[in-house]
Chain A
Amino acid sequence: MESQLINEPTELELLRQARSGDFAAFQQLIDNLQPRVYGLAMRILRQPQDAEDVTQLTFVALIEHLGEFRGDSSIATWVLKIASNNALKVLRKQRGSKVVSFSEMSTADNYSDVPRPEFIAPWSRPADEIAQQAEVQHEIEVALSALDDKYRLVFILRDIEGLSVRETAEIMELSESTVKVRLLRARLALRERLTWKFGDALQAMTPNPNHS
């Protein structure tokens, strides 16, 4: 078993083989990435047909641009950036001129009036245990969908997909400081909503007025 693991080709070996025309190596390279890209596109666009289009576009682009990967991030990060850009293009097209651009600055993009936590209580169980409940996945996706696009998108890219603040800023065409403010607002909004659901009301507390 151990020798099998040792003999597994590395990501860069697979990439080298794929670049020389080995389709099986390419398939192995993207095997785990396909559901991840589809999930990212679903989270951003919320429509299966749109998510399929984005997934297909992303991997077709990967074939066309295999030679351009510079290796300054993991292949997963590179692919997720391509997928995010594709999904945002679709979202921008859908939104048209009816809403502000994701990159448009607003008064909400500073720390001056960040909403303060209202319901403060430790969660009754750890997140990994809560995640095992079938209905929870649906509930947390509903909470995410309720966020304004500009907060939802930074949370998806930074916190769910694990892109850096800089990468998120590049994709969203924002400054890093704006990403950080939007991320804070997204995190606080989701915390509030999920704590009402998973918090232990018996241990609820109020902010200490003498401390703030």
Chain B
Amino acid sequence: MTCEELLKALNDHVDGAELSEICEEFATHLAGCNPCQVVVDNIRQTISLYRAGQPYTMPAAFQDRLQQSLKWRWEKKFGKVGMEPNSGLPGKDI
């Protein structure tokens, strides 16, 4: 396996694919090629970095609106919240 072939097989390796003949070749190449080891590690670190954080916070005002909207939908489907489900009572119309 060459460095270029290793690049093509990279996804399955990073995704933890089951060991196969390709993976054995991959491992053999990796064991003797420091730059490829670093590239594979860089990619794992890149994915970890994106998974580590939640950069967007839901605005509080939207959270309130969403809650109201979902409650209204719920009541249209199931009846008034806090009452016996499916009681047949009409939901609250906003």
Q: Hey, which bits of chain A sit against chain B, CB under 8 A?
A: 20-23, 26, 34-36, 38-39, 42-43, 48, 51-52, 55-56, 59-60, 63-64, 111, 114, 116-117, 120-123, 126-128, 130-131, 136-138, 140-141, 144, 155, 159-160, 162, 165, 180, 183-184, 187-188, 190-191, 194-195, 198-199, 205-208, 211-212
Contact = CB atoms under 8 A, between A and B. Distances in A.
B50 A160 contact: yes
B33 A42 contact: no
B22 interface: no
Contacts of B43: 187-188, 191
B12 to A, nearest CB: 8
B69 A144 contact: no
B94 interface: no
B59 A116 contact: no
Q: Chain B, interface size: which category? A: 35 or more
B75 to A, nearest CB: 8
Given A23-B71, A60-B73, A120-B38, A35 B48 contact: no
Contacts of A180: 11
Given A48-B59, A123-B45, 15 more contacts: A21-B86, A42-B55, A52-B59, A56-B65, A63-B77, A120-B35, A127-B45, A137-B53, A140-B49, A162-B51, A184-B7, A191-B43, A198-B45, A205-B35, A208-B3
Contacts of A160: 50-51
B8 A111 contact: yes
B21 to A, nearest CB: 18
Contacts of B74: 23, 26, 63
Interface in B6-51: 7-8, 10-11, 14-15, 29, 32-36, 38-39, 41-43, 45-51
Contacts of A114: 7-8
Contacts of A117: 7, 35, 39, 42
Contacts of A130: 49
A55 B71 contact: no
A127 to B, nearest CB: 4
B39 A120 contact: yes
A188 B42 CA distance: 9
A63 B85 CA distance: 14
